[in-house]
Amino acid sequence: MINLTTMDIVIIGSGNVASVLGRKFKAAGHRILQVVSRNASAASKLAYEWDTESTNYISLVNKKADLYLVAVPDDAIPHIVSELKLPAKKILAHTAASVSKDVLKNVSDHYGVFYPLQSLRKEMKALPEVPVFFDGNDEVARKALEKLAHSIAEEKVEAAGDDARMKLHVAAVIVSNFTNHLYALTEDYCKKEGLEFKQLLPLIEETASRIKSMSPKQAQTGPAIRHDKETLQKHIELLKDHPHLKNIYVLLTESIQQLK
């Protein structure tokens, strides 16, 4: 019988998600029994931080944990789990939004997904707020993963099957990865034009925080939504030396103007 309040956990992977979730599990009172990773130095660093063991051989996985969490890139999950041999009744989960839980079905009776809807980096100094979307093939897996999620995310926990998670992932990629890519392109533009990207930080913060209290559509400002044609023409002219950014500028201007 698993003690759902303090679980014994093995983490497979030693990257961003493994590091941040491991820290959150420790902070919530769970025990990390082992870190398993092909990256021996990253695994032993995490094991030292959590006062536990590590191995880079999946065949040496500790068999005594309650729950095994696979936090490796999406495409590597099938291969890693094909090498994983677990005793009966263990709970196995991966952390990918866009990979079906069924990829784990041949390895354990109780399996599921523990998807943290947050942009996680192992270098993060403070532990971020991490909403969790979980799924499980049966009541045992669902209950354990839900309880684990509540222990690190309090109320920000929801069940989400394969389809719902994939849809959420698309939305997450757009609001986080694409927005950040626009920052990266803009930083590059600033460098080339002798401007300082950091002068834009108050604007970035205000724009992001505004949508906590109003719809992004209502919050839209700028020359595109005002149809300031002359200003738009001047901007496009200025961007002729930055053709890639110019294309994005034109595309997004049209998108803003067409949104009903």
Ligand X SMILES: NC(=O)c1ccc[n+]([C@@H]2O[C@H](COP(=O)([O-])OP(=O)(O)OC[C@H]3O[C@@H](n4cnc5c(N)ncnc54)[C@H](OP(=O)(O)O)[C@@H]3O)[C@@H](O)[C@H]2O)c1
Per CB under 6 A, residues contacting ligand X are: 13-18, 37-39, 42, 71-74, 76, 80, 95-96, 115-116, 119-120
- In the complex, the smallest distance separating the C-beta of residue 62 from ligand X, rounded to whole angstroms, is 17
DSSP string over 188-211? HHHHHTT--GGGGHHHHHHHHHHT
Q: Which is nearer to ligand X, 15 or 223 (CB)?
A: 15
- Residue (of 109, 108, 11) closest to 62 by Cα position: 11
**Directed axis angle between helix 243-258 and helix 229-238, to 10°?**
160
Least Å distance between CB 246 and ligand X? 31
Q: Minimum distance from CB of 42 to ligand X (Å)? A: 5
Give the Cα separation of 101 and 136 in Å (integer): 7
Nearer to ligand X, 166 or 185 (CB): 166
CA distances in angstroms from 149 to 61, 189, 256, listed in the order given: 23, 41, 37
Which position's Cβ is nearest ligand X? Answer: 15
The nearest distance, CB 99 to ligand X, in angstroms, is 7
What ranges in the chain are assigned the alpha helix state H?
A: 16-27, 40-49, 77-82, 139-153, 162-172, 179-192, 201-210, 216-219, 223-226, 229-238, 243-258
Task: Report the alpha-carbon distance of residue 88 to residue 67 in Å, rounded.
Answer: 12
Q: How far is the CB of 219 from ligand X (least distance, A)?
A: 25
State how beta strands 110-116 and 132-136 pair: antiparallel
Smallest gap from Cβ 48 to ligand X, in A, equals 16
